[in-house]
Structure 1
Amino acid sequence: MSPDPALSWSAPMSPGGVPGAGRPIVSFGRPEGYDERVRPRPLGMWIRPRVAAAAACVVLGLGLIGGAVTGSWLVGEPGEAGTGDTFAAAGGLWHSVPVDQLFPPTVAGKGAGPGGADRTWTRIAVAPDRGCADAFDPLLRKALAPVGCQRLLRATYTDATQSYVTTVGLLFTKADAAAMTALGKRFTDEGLDRRTDLMPRPYAAKNTVAAGFGTAQRASWTVSVLTDAPVVVYAVSGWADGRTVDEPQPAEEAMQSGATTAPAQAGLGNEAQGLADRVERGLRKTVSSPTEKPS
């Protein structure tokens, strides 16, 4: 049966609606656990206590391993590699989960600001579904080419004072786990996530405080290649007044103690990293428990 076009990100919106509203939510079954009193059953003879204890340890060990894999998604921390079912489920979220769940209207960032200050971000625009063609600078597009582009979802947020603007993106790739692992290793080994010629582009929405948020206004950014999901998470931040930035700085460096650059002093590294982290956590929580909306 063909998918309902009304549930697509590119489907027309009703007046006052939001993109993707009303789409069904994917539900994944919870893994079955083991009884806390694991005891082997006698099979025509009594099993020696040591054998029984060994069997119990094996069963409990398997349960702990399974719990660790699931737990890495529940708490929002990446594992070394996702299971096939989890990896595939994450790759399909772009067409099965409402936009408000992937990019909540309001995102709370407790302790996300400089010095552990709290942050609150408000979504001001969601980019239309136009693929990846114009979303990245040429060199970044080339670096991401090995994993392909299935869909790119973007939203722009502002802080509580409307002093800063940040675009966060979820690039859903066409890659398998091996390809994502290879790309993640390359980004780490070659420092691609810290090169100023590989910054993501912002989404400047008209008639918002981000209207002047162009490529020259990029101040800080982060790019995270997930290895347990076919997704690249990124964010790029800048000032809401449209000022140009001569020396943008990657979020990791801008957040370091003693950093004196303008993006660091303004906390724009925290804006990019904090929002990207929370959108990534929401993505993971949606895979594990899609009926619960991420905070």
Structure 2
Amino acid sequence: KALAPVGCERLLRATYTDATQSYVTTVGLLFTDADATAMRDLDTRFTREGLASRTDLMPLPYAAKNTLAAGFGAGQRASWTISVLTDAPVVAYAVSGWADGRTVDTPEPAEKAMESGDTTPAAQAGLGNEAQGLADRVERALRKTVTSPPEQSS
């Protein structure tokens, strides 16, 4: 519902694991049908309504069969970030969780999990940093290869 105003042209997802195979992170790029005005409007709405921090809008992981991520389901999501790009028709996200299938009672946005003094398991394990770091890296790479969405014609 939150992304309906911009449509969905294509969704690209990949799930990564850390070197210790303790946790997994799905990174996604949702390519929209929107123009620059619609993307700015969506970004404003996400900011104003705090949509990126709502657990009911937390992205779903990509749990590829026969991989370490196979058990990474909705219940294993521990931390996430969502970013509405205004210089490209893209919504980028990342969601991190445990590779061993343990469930998470209270997932938290990466921004909160990275705060000094946060003692939740996700924060202590660095899952907020992992989600934010991978999302930032993917966003930077994407920005190097795309141009801004066209302005809405009048």
TM-score above 0.5, yes or no: yes
Q: What secondary structure does 2:16 align onto?
A: strand
Q: Output one character per residue of 1:203-241: Cα deviation in whole Å (capped at 9) or x when no partner.
A: 001111111000011000000000111000000000110
The aligned counterpart of 1:118 is none
Q: Which has the higher strand share?
A: 2
The separation in 2 between residues aligned to 1:158 and 1:213, in whole angstroms, is 11
| Alpha-carbon distance, 1:160 to partner | 1.1
When Rg is computed on C-alpha atoms for both structures, the one with the higher figure is 1
Q: One-letter code of the match for 2:20?
A: T
Match of 1:190 among 46, 49, 68: 49
The aligned counterpart of 1:233 is 92
The aligned counterpart of 1:171 is 30
The aligned counterpart of 2:66 is 207
CA contact 2:12–2:29 (8 Å) conserved in 1 = yes
| Alpha-carbon distance, 1:162 to partner | 1.0
CA contact 2:81–2:132 (8 Å) conserved in 1 = yes
Q: One-letter code of the match for 1:166?
A: T
CA contact 2:88–2:146 (8 Å) conserved in 1 = no
Q: Output one character per residue of 1:105-148: Cα deviation in whole Å (capped at 9) or x when no partner.
A: xxxxxxxxxxxxxxxxxxxxxxxxxxxxxxxxxxxxx0000000
The aligned counterpart of 1:273 is 132
Alignment of 1:156 with 2:15, yes or no, is yes
Which ranges of structure 1 fall in alignment gaps of 5 or more residues? 1-141, 289-295
The separation in 1 between residues aligned to 2:76 and 2:58, in whole angstroms, is 12
The separation in 2 between residues aligned to 1:143 and 1:245, in whole angstroms, is 24
The separation in 2 between residues aligned to 1:259 and 1:229, in whole angstroms, is 33
Q: What secondary structure does 2:75 align onto?
A: helix
Q: One-letter code of the match for 1:204?
A: A
Map 1:115-154 → 2, pairs under 5 A: 142-154=1-13
Alignment of 1:219 with 2:78, yes or no, is yes
Identity between Structure 1 and Structure 2 (%) = 83
When normalised by structure 1's length, the TM-score is 0.49
CA contact 2:59–2:93 (8 Å) conserved in 1 = yes
The aligned counterpart of 1:257 is 116
The separation in 1 between residues aligned to 2:19 and 2:43, in whole angstroms, is 33
The aligned counterpart of 1:246 is 105
Q: Would you identify which runs of 4 or more consecutive aligned residues in structure 1 move more than 6 Å? A: none
